[in-house]
Amino acid sequence: MGAPRRDVRRDPAPEVRTFWAALPTEGRWLLSTVAIQTLGRGLTLPFTLIYLHEVRGFELGLSGTLMALIAVVGFLVTGPGGAMVDRYGARAVLLVGLAAMIVGNLTLAFATTPAVAAAALVLVGFNFGVSWPAFNALIAAVVSGELRQQYFGINFALVNLGIGVGGVVGGLLADVDRPGTFTAIFVGDAVTGLVPLALLLAPLRHVHGRASAPEDGSTPAAVGYLAILGQPAVRWLTLLTFVATFIGYGQHEAGFPGFARQAAEVSTRTVGLAFAVNTVVIVVLQFSVLNRIKRHLRTRVMVVMAFIWALAWGLLGAAGIVPGSSLAIAGVLAYMAVFALGETLLQPTVPAMANDLATDHTRGRYNAITAAAFQGGAIAGPVVAGFLLQHDLAAVYIAIMVAGCVAIAAMALALERHVPASANGGGEVRSPTTEVV
C-alpha cells in the first residue's frame, strides 16, 4: 500500500491566531479598526460624482474636475507629507490628515456651491496625500520582519472589506430624489474618521512613529528625495508601482467600467457586481496567499502577479468579442476575480519592500515616493483609457494593458538585480530601531 495522500488543504484559523498572537499590542490596535475606518470611505467613494452632478446640480464636466482635485492635491502634498513624517513622526501627521478629512467631509455634506465643494475636496485630497505614507510608516514602526509583509496583506483585505461594505450601505441609503441621504453618507464618512482619531489620541498616544535619536548623541544626516531616488532599487520599484497602478487601479474608475459598458455591452448591475466579486476574492484569499508567498522572493511574486493580471485583461478583452451576451457577463466577472487574485500578491510585497529598503529616519520619504507613484498612475490611467475608448480603440486598449503586465514582469526581474536580499524576502529583515514607547 502506498503512502497516504497528504491533504494539501490547510485550516487558516490556527495561522490567523498565530499571526494575531505575534503582533505587538500596538499592531493589534491598528489592525482591529481598519474595516471600520474605511467603511466611511466606501459610503461616499462611488457616489461623490453623482452627488455633485445630480444632487447639487453642478455641470458634469465641472463635477469631474472637482473630483480630480482629490488626486491632484494628494499627489502634490505626498512629498512634503513624507518629509513631515520623518521630522515630526507618523502619528502627528496622521492626526493632521484625519482632522482635514473630517472637516472636508462635513463641509462637502452641506456644500451648495462649486467653491465650497472645491475647498472640501482639497481637504480630502490633503488627507489622502499625507496619510498614506504616514500610516505605512506607522505600521513599519511597530511591526517588523516577515510579520510586516503579512500585516500589509491583511490590512489590504480589511480595507477592501470596509470599502465594500460601505459601498453596499451607501447604495442602499443614497437617493438622488432625497438630498438628505447624501448629506447623511458624507457625515457618516466624517464620523468614521473619529475612530482612528480616538485610537491615536488614546491607546496609541505613545506611538509617535519617529526614529529615536542615536545613543551617541549624533544627528542622522538629512537624506533628500533625490538621494533616495538615486538608488537603482528605489527607481525600479517606483517605476513598477507607477505602471502597476496605471494598468490596475487607474483603470477601475474609468477604463474597466467604460470597456464593460461600451465594448462588452453589459449592464451597470454587472459592473457593480464585478466590484463586489473583487472585494470578496480579496477578503477570502488574502491570508491563504500570504501563507503561500512566505519566504519567496518578492520580485518573483511580482512576476507571477503580472502574468495573472495579463490573464485577467485577456478575459476582459474576450468579453468584448461577444458583446451583450452571457459570455460577456462571465468575462467581465472573471476579469475582476482574477485581477483580485493578482492584487493579493501585489499589496503585501510593494509596501513591505519599500519599508525594508528604508532606514528608520527616512521611512516617511520612502513611503511618500511609493504613494506618489501610485497616485501618478491613478491620474494617468483614466486619461489614457478615456482617450482610447472614446476613439473606439478597445482592442488597442486591451493590448496596452497586457503589454503593461509584461513590462511589470520585466521590471521586477530588473529590480531583483539591485534590491538586497533583506528587502526581497530572501534574508533576515532588519528590526526597526524606532522608539515605540
Residue 12 lies in a domain: no
pLDDT, mean of each 10-residue run, the chain (437 residues): 45 67 83 82 80 86 83 90 88 93 96 95 93 86 79 84 83 85 93 90 76 50 82 95 91 82 85 85 88 87 96 96 94 95 90 87 88 88 85 93 97 94 66 34
Is residue 17 domain-resident? no
CA neighbor of 120 nearest in space, from 50, 69, 157: 69
Q: Are residues 49 and 133 in the same domain?
A: yes
In a domain, 58, yes or no: yes
Question: Do 206 and 246 lie in a common domain?
Answer: no
pLDDT at residue 313 in the model: 97
The reported pLDDT for the residue numbered 437 is: 28
Domain boundaries, position 297 = 225-428
CATH of the domain at 148: 1.20.1250.20
Note whether 318 and 382 are same-domain residues.
yes
Among all chains, which residue has been given the C-alpha cell 495579463?
A: 310
Same domain, residue pair 360 and 309:
yes
pLDDT at 429: 39
Residue 293 lies in a domain: yes
Q: Is residue 216 part of a domain?
A: no
Same domain assignment for residues 274 and 373: yes
Q: Tell me, yes or no, whether 316 and 229 share the same domain.
A: yes
| Amino acid found at 81 | G
Cell numbers given for 54: 445630480
Query: Which of 151, 184, 211 is the endpoint of a domain?
Result: 211
DSSP state of 430: P
Instruction: Give Cα separations from 125 to 143, 188, 316, 374 (angstroms).
Output: 27, 18, 31, 14
Asked if residue 7 belongs to a domain, the reply is no
Residue 2: predicted pLDDT: 46
142 inside domain:
yes
**The domain boundary residue, chosen from 189, 211, 233:** 211
pLDDT given at position 435: 34
pLDDT of residue 194: 92
> In whole angstroms, what is the distance from residue 301 CA to residue 296 CA?
7
Name the grid cell of 434.
Answer: 524606532
Query: In terms of domains, do 273 and 419 share one?
Result: yes
The answer to whether residues 416 and 337 belong to one domain is yes
Whether 148 maps to a domain, the answer reads yes
Q: Cα separations (Å) of 224 from 78, 241, 362?
A: 14, 20, 9
How many domains are there within the chain? 2
pTM: 0.79
Give the pLDDT of residue 8: 41
Examine the domain organization and report whether 172 and 253 are in the same domain. no
If asked whether residues 180 and 84 sit together in one domain, one would say yes
Inter-axis angle of helices 268-292 and 12-22, nearest 10: 70
pLDDT for the residue 86: 86
State whether 310 and 333 are in the same domain. yes
Residues 271 and 309 in one domain: yes
Q: In 3D, which of 373, 345, 371, 344 has the Cα closest to residue 159?
A: 344
Q: How far, in Å, are 97, 229, 322, 351, 357 from residue 81 at the CA level?
A: 10, 17, 47, 17, 19
Please say which residue of 162, 183, 211 terminates a domain: 211
pLDDT at 414: 95
